[in-house]
Structure formats: C-alpha cells, structure tokens
Chain A
Amino acid sequence: MERIRVIFKRELAGYFATPIAAVFIVIFLMLSGAFTFYLGNYFVRGQADLVPFFDFHPWLYLVLIPALAMRLWAEERRSGTIELLLTLPVTMWEAVVGKFLAAWCFTGVALALTFPMWITVNLLGEPDNGVIFASYLGSLLMAGGFLAIGSCISALTKNQVIAFVVSVVICLGFILSGFPLVLDLFSGWAPQLLLSAISSFSFLTHFQSISKGVLDLRDILYFLSLIAFWLFATATVIDMKKAE
C-alpha cells in the first residue's frame, strides 16, 4: 500500500513537471465550456441545470483521456524505465494501481476546476445541487473507465500514437455499445442474451442514469468493476509483453 502511494506521488508530480498538466487542463476547461455554451445552448434553454455541460463529457473524454493514458505504460516501455520500476521491490498490481490512480486523480483535478460552472448555475437560478453532485461523480467514474481501458492499450505497445488511436476506438465502442452502430455488428449472428449484455456495457446509459441524480449502486458497481477488469488486463498484458 505504501508503495502505491510512492508511485502515485511520483506519477502525479510527473504530470505537473511537464506541460501535459497545463495543456490538458486548459483544453479540457476550454472545450467543456465551449461545448456547453455553444453546442449545448446553455442560455437559450433557460433552465438552471448542468445537463448540457455533462452531456458532452463522454465525447470530451473520448479524445482527451486516451491522450492522457497513452503514455502510462508505452512511455515506460519506450524509455526502459519499466525495467527499473518492476525490479524495485514492488508487485505488479501495486505498480498498475499506483499509476492508474495518479492519472485518475489528475483527471479529477481537471474536473474539479470546472467548479465555476457550478457556481454560475447557482447564481443564475436554483439548480438541484444533488443532481449536479451525482453527475460529477458519474463523470469521474466514467473518466476512470476510459483511463483503465487506455492503461491496458498503452501496455500493449511502445508506440503512443497506436495506443491513442486504438484506445479511442475501444472507448468509442464502449460509449456506443447500446447503439445500432455497435449492436448491428453482432445482431446478425449473436444470441439475444449476448446482445443485451453488450448493450448493457454502454458508458452512455450508465452515465446518463447517474447524471439524472439517481445514484444506483449497479451503475457505480458497473464502472468500478469495469476499471478493475481493465487494470487486471493491464497487469496481464505487461507480464506477457515484458520481454519485448
């Protein structure tokens, strides 16, 4: 546990030691603001809520989170530090979890910096702050899911561009898995049971149900088990591909 904390601290400091932190946070804030006000018609709707703000989060994450996650392990492999890290007295899961938590915490910081949005909506009207809180939580959980997927893909390759592109595609699959775009791939041949299983994997469905203000344990468990699964996959992939 102690070693997870040490890795976590180093990784998090790493984001802020490089321009990554500044670029990521500024772009995240700019885009989330621009989407909310221009595409989401925040003012025109005349409603005191943050629905247009949160509606764009899956799409923002789709591009920004793989960009953040692509370096998690690909960079360690490219620079050879993976050999250094894994020959320290640390277990594989401690390393995987420590690095993941740092990235997750970092997206949490970016998300928290959207607080002026929350203040604004409270100045303009009387929103349901419970719903907004739930939406923030849902957004954070969803970011964790994206990151865990990105972490695993990043462990597969030394090449960060490949890690980015593949992560985006897989994340897109998870966002849209309840939609015809993905379901039609399976509907011709797969049994109904599998189809409903696939559509229940949709990030969008689970995120939207949380952001309605209903903190259903199943939605939370969905994201947490998804994260656990992909982190487990990350550790397996690293173990298999260490030699390359």
Chain B
Amino acid sequence: MTSMVEISNLRKTFGPIVAVDGVSFTLGKGEVLGFLGPNGAGKSTTMKMITGFLTPTSGSVKVCGHDVQDDALAAKTRIGYLPEGAPAYHDMTPASFLKFIGEMRGQRGDVLKRTIFETVEKVNLQSVLNQPIETLSKGFKRRVGLAQAILHDPEVLVLDEPTDGLDPNQKHEVRTLIRAMAQEKAIILSTHILEEVHAVCSRAMIIAKGKVVSDGTPAELEGQAPTHNSVLVTVSGVEPALAHERFMTVNGVKKVEDHGTDGDLVRMRIYPDEGKWILSAIGQYAREQGWEVQELYQDRGQLDDVFRLLTTQKQALS
C-alpha cells in the first residue's frame, strides 16, 4: 500500500485557541478515512490544512509526496476538495461552473467536454445543468460541489460533510458514489452521521479538542462500546427476579441488567466477561429451564456510545 497522504504533527492555533493539536497519520490508496468528532473538534481545520487553504502553525502535510506548503501547485492538482457547505459561484450554472473548474485545472476542448459529461452522469446533474446554481435545491448544490471535486479524477479526495443536508435517497447515492471511487483513491471525509462510517469508511478516526483520540476500523471502534457483544434477551414464563438470578450463573456472564417487563415478557441485557461470546449459552440455558425465548440477539455496540465516551472523556480530562 503506497501512502498518498502523509500528515505529521500537524498543529494550528488561532491566537490562544489550539484548533488542531499534533495530528499525525498516513493514508493509503483504497482507504476511506472517516473523520468523526464534535463540532469545533478541528476536523474542518485539519482538512483545510490538507488542501492547502490554511497554513499550519507547525507540522507538515504531504500529498503524493508533494509538500502542500512548499510545492503547493503540485499537491493541489492531485487533490479534489469539497469544502464545508459545498460553496459554488451562485450566479453560474452547473455547466459553466464545471467548465471553469476544469479550465482552472488545465483541461481544454474535447477532453474537458468529455470529463464534464462523465462527471455530470456520475452525480446525476443532467436535469439542472443550465439552471443558475442559486436556484437549485440543497441536494443538487451538494452534488455540484461533489462534481467539481471529482472532475479531474484526483488521487486524493477530501470531502467535508459530503452528505450534510441530503435526504436519505441522496445520501445513499453519494455513499454509493464514494464507495465506487474508493478503490482508486485515498479519501478523507468528515461526518456527524455515525451510520455513514459503517456505510463507506474503511477506517474511522475520532478527533476531540484537536487531538486524535481513536483510530481504527469501524468494527474496532465498536469494540470499545460498553455494550459491545452484550446479549439482549426477552423471555416469558418466568419471574423477573428468578431469571436475573439464574442468568448470572451462566458461564461467562458478568452482569445482568433488567430492562423491565411487558405482560409476562421479561427483558434483560446480559454483559459477557471480557472477550467472551455468550449468545448461544444464554439461549440454550433459557430453553433448558423451560422458558420461552421471544427475542435473542447480540449487540455489536453503538458507535454513538463510543463517540460519546471518547469525546466527553477527553473533555473532562482537559
């Protein structure tokens, strides 16, 4: 795996405020990195430094081997960037806007026409090509932004909240598009939507207060959730207190949490000992006892919980 983005010890301060505080990572071809973090955590600032818009206070960014500060033009030609809010020149039409971007990126004539045609197909902009951008819906505006970012088929794609404000269908389309491009590129995207990390990212990074607090695959992140691999069970034909007591005796069970009753249904969440799988043991035990199992499933853990845990912990410490 060749590394296409190399970030070392990136730092940005605005006066006394430290926006990004020593972020380092490398990203290879085929990776889709999701930046997660609360508002103001430094996601956008990091992206602005990667794309060369902001000058880092210290540290460096290399894109395909080119330093974004010292060799800015070479780096910028290799990056496609969708800034936050997908800004565009509102008095232009998508057609003229994409033509402008293409010309700025050095494309001309038939090559440019073909590139625009293909890109427009990819993001489904055909129907609004000649309407002023200011009259377009939020979804179309976002797609125009996406189109200009991928127009020159960049090796590195930086997308700041690419699905923000889109309806579920549009979100799905954008994610499909990102997945389709993932093989050939290194992609960094920021998002608030944790399900998006599952949908498109091969790697997730949680940033809080300008620092990386977690970096791993989405599955690894979920593993850090307190509810990871816990078992939710609903049984009937047994007193809640008895069920609670009995489940505690099953091998590998650490804790049983009562989740209330509904008629004669008894709901519980059962936590395993570290690294144990207890789903089948629980099911088997309940049936041996003659209880009717109405519901039984294993919770992989919610990214939301991990997110909250990591970002609020950090804040409490500092």
A: which residues have CB within 8 A of B?
2-3, 6-7, 10, 13-14, 17-18, 79-81, 83-84, 86-91, 239, 242-243
Contact = CB atoms under 8 A, between A and B. Distances in A.
Contact of A87 (B81, B91, B103): B81
- The range of chain B's interface size is 20 to 34
A243 B54 contact: yes
Q: Which of B72, B73, B88, B89 has the most CB of A within 10 A?
A: B89
A13 B96 contact: yes
26 contacts: A3-B104, A6-B104, A7-B104, A10-B92, A13-B96, A14-B89, A14-B91, A79-B89, A79-B90, A80-B87, A81-B87, A81-B88, A81-B89, A83-B81, A83-B87, A86-B52, A87-B53, A87-B79, A87-B81, A87-B83, A88-B76, A88-B101, A89-B72, A89-B73, A89-B106, A90-B73
A84 B83 CA distance: 7
Contacts of A91: 72-73
A173 to B, nearest CB: 31
A163 to B, nearest CB: 19
A242 B49 CA distance: 12
A17 B87 CA distance: 18
A86 B101 CA distance: 12
A2 B73 CA distance: 14
Interface string B150-179: 000000000000000000000000000000
B51 interface: yes
Nearest to B82: A84
B84 interface: yes
Given A80-B84, A81-B87, A242-B53, 12 more contacts: A6-B100, A10-B89, A10-B92, A79-B87, A80-B85, A81-B88, A83-B83, A87-B53, A87-B81, A89-B76, A90-B76, A239-B55
Given A80-B83, A80-B85, A86 B90 contact: no
Contacts of A90: 73, 76, 104
Contacts of B51: 87
Nearest to A15: B91
Contact of A6 (B73, B76, B77, B103): B103
A207 to B, nearest CB: 33
B148 interface: yes
Contacts of B104: 3, 6-7, 88-90
Contacts of B101: 88
A169 B83 CA distance: 35
B114 interface: no
B48 interface: yes
B77 A89 contact: yes
